[in-house]
Structure 1
Amino acid sequence: MEQRTSLGQLVETIVRSLVDNPNEVQVRQIEGERTVIVEVRVAPTDLGKVIGKQGRIATAIRTLARAAATKAGKKVTVEIL
């Protein structure tokens, strides 16, 4: 399994488990030479659940993605849209 696929799948799995409308979750991955950008789109009603109180859930998602990317020698940015 490619690292690109597993990073996107990791973020998608986490986000889908948090929201009320998992079918509306869209994850897009932009791969650079050393950096990966993961864009996450959710339903407007689920945005608060993904961000969390004071951004704690979003920070946790970014930390997990960063740990997985570091293992592959990459940097990752998770954008929640």
Structure 2
Amino acid sequence: MTADVLTYLAKSLVDHPDDVEVTAVTEDDGEIVLELRVNPEDMGKVIGKRGRTAKAIRTMVKAAATREGSSASVEIVE
């Protein structure tokens, strides 16, 4: 479900929603790392001014993961 939250948020922000990809990787300590890939033209929209949008996305995903009883982080991959 956490990956679904990230996918929904990212697709809502970008101009090319079909290019949004989310990959979940589980670390050794059990943390889920969600790798977000978007069209290069949309990278600025996902990061935002001074990284504010990226920080907000990370906060929302972390809250969703906590609600599920797990921990997750977001990496924005070029």
TM-score between the two structures when normalised by the length of structure 2:
0.90
Runs of at least 4 residues off by over 3 Å: none
- Aligned-partner Cα distance in 2 for 1:9–1:75: 15
The residue type paired with residue 26 of structure 1 is: E
SS, match of residue 45 in structure 1: helix
The residue type paired with residue 72 of structure 1 is: E
- Aligned-partner Cα distance in 1 for 2:75–2:17: 17
**Equivalent of residue 20 in structure 2, options 25, 30, 37:** 25
Report the equivalent of 1:65: 61
Report the equivalent of 2:10: 15
SS, match of residue 58 in structure 2: helix
Aligned-residue RMSD, C-alpha: 1.1
Gaps of 5+ in 2: none
Deviation per residue, 1:40-75 (Å, 9 max, x gap): 000111000000000000000000010111122221
Number of residue pairs aligned between Structure 1 and Structure 2: 76
Question: Percent identity at matched positions?
Answer: 43
Distance apart, 1:23 and its partner CA: 0.5
